[in-house]
A and B are shown apart, each in its own frame.
Chain A
Amino acid sequence: MQTFDLEAEGLRALNSALHALKGQTNMTAWEVINPKGAHAIAAGVDAPVEITVRGSTGYYCAGMNKLATIRIKGSAGPGVAENMMSGTVIIDGDASQYAGATGRGGLLVIKGNASSRCGISMKGIDIVVHGNIGHMSCFMAQSGNLVVLGDAGEALGDSLYEARLFVRGKVKSLGTDCIEKEMRDEHFLIVEDLLRRGEADAKARPEEFRRYGSARKLYNFNIDNAQSY
């Protein structure tokens, strides 16, 4: 285990060390202590390593992550795992705004609640939230899956493209062009898989979820939809 004291050694040294890990390495276990809300912790990692951050993080922790498994033993600030490409990010606490924004792959697990705009513009990432999510989540979400064990705030999935949204609790309101859709067999399998990989299979069952997706009415401009734009 490589232990890195962020307060003592600084962000640049941490990320330099992590970026130096290319491809396969035997330095696979890293621990970051004293994060104290610093920004951009473990941003841009590109190696199959496990990084545990012991404490809460600021903006953009695990930003653009590739391959790494990053565990945050605290809460995460805005933009956690933004534009993640692959790998896994697991947050024990809550996540602030824009969690998983524009993420293109990998799995983001938030064991607490996620704030507004969770999964905004997501492009292939899978997100599992054990608690609730805030307003405008999955705005313009393009692809990928969002599984929410709790409730969703206002305007879920506004201007949605092809992302699939699964919510177990209440949805305060759906955004423009977002509608409830039938849960088919393939959707139960997606939720089952994500609950298992999101460490939530003991908390919920796939049949408890409802699916939301795009009505696809905004895909090509139509003047009669002008009030929706």
Chain B
Amino acid sequence: MSDFPRTPPRFSATFTPAVNAEIRRAAASGIYDIRGGGTKRHLPHFDDLLFLGASISRYPLEGYREKCATDVWLGTRFAKNPIHLDIPVTIAGMSFGALSGPAKEALGRGASEAGTSTTTGDGGMTEEERGHSKTLVYQYLPSRYGMNPDDLRRADAIEIVVGQGAKPGGGGMLLGQKISDRVAQMRNLPKGIDQRSACRHPDWTGPDDLEIKILELREITNWEKPIYVKVGGARPYYDTALAVKAGADVVVVDGMQGGTAATQDVFIEHVGMPILACIPQAVKALQDLGMHRKVQLIVSGGIRTGADVAKALALGADAVAIGTAALIALGDNDPKWEAEYQALGSTADAYDDWHEGRDPAGITTQDPELASRFDPVLGGRRLKNYLKVMTLEAQTIARACGKNHLHNLEPEDLCSLTIEAAAMAGVPLAGTNWIPGRTGGF
């Protein structure tokens, strides 16, 4: 043996320990990794944008003294009864089945107390959420689990789900361990089986059919309800344009940071686009059609703070939707359950095996004992608090930009920290007037 120092062990940047662990797991189990949540990879995001604030050319509004309004109308194009929300932060669709009944109740309580809407999911409408949601959006999904005209008419709006950001082009799944008697009954399937949700609607294909489907839903609900069309972040320009053409009142674009109850990790991490890249494309489609602000745009996927809300609105959205953040506000992934997360082979803030139904926080489960840990009244209060904080944060930024309404924020209030974000968001790189792909040079 030489006395020369040995070359220290060097890990591959391609075959990292995490990659190798997944290869070993796949080789041992023979099944792809299934998990909940959204993408965990680093992506260009709202953190790569900054507000410029007021200066000599623009003067700010006085915080706490001068009004900065936050309300939003949704569904003003065709619906007899458009929705008016106090804040532009809505709760995204999450199913009863994926979530416990008390968790759905808490979402309704928190949203209602904060003056916003919540949304059903792939499993039908429960009494808990209808009873506790002042404004409830009813999702119309490919599976049509629990779908019935009475609930359609009890809803305040209808959201036709074409896709979602976590898995554009994919259907859903609810594994057998979460199929309780009640879930099975609502979905008209045997207890304990893995429930597959179709990736396409059973009775229409393409934008021309969608137009007729929207007509049918409007006729059944006497043209009262706003009709949303939700798409995953895949081709936001064309999807938005086609949704408008089909007659949507509201378009919902969900970026790949948006969560899911359960799907393949490979789908979550490798299909779709980040929301930052989606918003300008969707806004441009609306502007090209002369429909910006006439057909409202809701965006979702990775919204966490009032700053994210303000940035999404500055890029042209009318409102945002939150899912993962709402669950965290309720108590999901709370470090107080760390010992139990460890027992499940995970840790707080990383737990994503929602499909297994063993959530220590009692939120993403159908286990009665675990679900009983969750207090829907307290959960609702926490969600309300969080929504209020987000709104105050967004207002703080808007006032600093001299805006008396969140919707007056505009791309000119923003700059980008990275070239990638500048190109995606269509706002100049900080300190320059350069938007890659649009303006030449510095």
Residue A59, interface by CB 8 Å: yes
Nearest CB in chain B to that of A77: its residue: B212
Instruction: Give the residues from 34 to 79 in chain A that come closer than 8 angstroms, CB to CB, to chain B.
Output: 39-40, 43-44, 46, 58-60, 63-64, 66, 78-79
Cβ 8 A contact of B193, one of A39, A102, A219, A223: A219
Nearest CB in chain B to that of A144: its residue: B188
Interface class of chain A by DSSP: loop
Nearest CB in chain B to that of A119: its residue: B202
How many contacting A-B pairs (Cβ < 8 A)? 105
| A-contact 0/1 string along B185-215, CB 8 Å cutoff | 0001110111010100011100001001101
**How far, in angstroms, from A58 to B216 measured CA to CA in the complex?**
11
Q: How large is the interface on B (under 10, 10 to 19, 20 to 34, 35 or more residues)?
A: 20 to 34
Residue A98, interface by CB 8 Å: yes
Q: How large is the interface on A (under 10, 10 to 19, 20 to 34, 35 or more residues)?
A: 35 or more
Contact: A120 with B203, CB < 8 Å? yes
Residue B147, interface by CB 8 Å: yes
Contact: A12 with B198, CB < 8 Å? no
Residue B20, interface by CB 8 Å: no
Contact: A220 with B219, CB < 8 Å? no
Cβ 8 A contact of B149, one of A59, A64, A123: A64
B201 CB to nearest chain A CB (Å): 9
**How far, in angstroms, from A118 to B149 measured CA to CA in the complex?**
21
List 5 additional contacts besides A64-B152, A104-B188, A161-B190; criterion CB under 8 Å. A63-B216, A63-B220, A121-B198, A219-B193, A223-B29
Leading 6 A-B pairs by shortest Cβ distance:
A44-B220, A223-B30, A219-B193, A98-B203, A79-B203, A101-B203
Interface residues of A (CB under 8 A from B): 11-12, 15-16, 19, 39-40, 43-44, 46, 58-60, 63-64, 66, 78-79, 82-83, 85, 97-98, 101-102, 104, 117, 120-121, 123-124, 139-140, 142-143, 159, 161-162, 219-221, 223
23 contacts between A and B (CB under 8 A): A11-B219, A12-B219, A12-B223, A39-B216, A40-B215, A43-B219, A44-B220, A59-B216, A60-B213, A64-B220, A78-B204, A83-B144, A98-B202, A98-B203, A102-B203, A104-B147, A117-B202, A120-B203, A142-B188, A142-B189, A220-B193, A220-B194, A223-B31
